[in-house]
Amino acid sequence: MEPKQELTHMNKTKIKVKCRRLSSETENIKNKDSSVGAGMKLTIKTTLSGC
């Protein structure tokens, strides 16, 4: 693999990990049945991250 490709691959992996973390936070909010606004913000963040 070329260094550039490797870097892109690493970034994609990092983004995936971030998204997983965000979606588990979203699940926690749903489970707690707390404010819908916070859930929406997290969902938007996840969408913007390109998950």
| Of residues 35 and 16, more confidently modeled | 16
The answer to whether residue 17 is domain-embedded is yes
The answer to whether residue 31 is domain-embedded is no
Confidence band (pLDDT; 50, 70, 90) for 29?
low
The confidence score (pLDDT) of residue 8 equals: 72
Contact residues for 38 (Cβ-Cβ < 8 A; gap 6+): 29
Our count of domains for the chain comes to 1
The answer to whether residue 30 is domain-embedded is no
pLDDT over threshold 60, residue 51: no
The confidence score (pLDDT) of residue 4 equals: 72
Q: Which structural domain range is residue 41 located in?
A: 3-25+36-48
Distance between first and last Cα of the chain = 24
1-27 pLDDT, tens per residue?
A: 566 777 677 667 666 666 566 666 666
CA distances from 2 to 8, 9, 31 (A): 10, 11, 44
Contact residues for 26 (Cβ-Cβ < 8 A; gap 6+): 39, 42, 43, 46
